[in-house]
Amino acid sequence: MKQRIAIGCDHGGFNLKNKIIEHLEKKGVEVEDFGTYSQESCDYPVIAKKVAGEIAQKRFELGILVCGSGLGMCIAANKVKGVRAVTCFDATTARLSKSHNNANVLCLGERITGEYLALDIVDAWLKSEFEGGRHQKRVDMFETP
């Protein structure tokens, strides 16, 4: 089955988002862009909630969000039940976020992470799989008070 990714950004992540889309499409990944579609200032929580909502509704298995730092998008996405968003700054944390924490939204910062590193992070995250086992119990705790 072809992998499908929901992606979004604010004005601070616009250029990197487009590079990620191009990179993923070259690899045969289907990407749906939830905006923003220009560098005009916009509110990142709106975009984060759109993408996170798609994940929560199971219309997409995975999402990627890009803003200036990756932090605001991550905070906003994690407000949506069922979303496990992470901000990663290297391939190792990207792999671990998926294999140990079953992260379903990756957040990146265009002003923090260069293009080539960001693409490595995306690739590492997408290639990783949740290990389950001893990690499942802890992941289950995310959803309970």
Q: What residues act catalytically? A: 67, 100
Dig out the tokens for 16 from the structure.
């990197």
Q: Rounded to an integer, what distance in angstroms lies between the CA atom of residue 96 and that of residue 103?
A: 9
Q: Rounded to an integer, what distance in angstroms lies between the CA atom of residue 31 and that of residue 21?
A: 7
* Pairing verdict, β 62-67 and 85-87: unpaired
Q: Which residues pair with 65 in a beta bridge?
A: 8, 107
CB 9 within 8 A of CB 17: yes
Residue 53 has φ and ψ, to the nearest 5°, of -65, -35
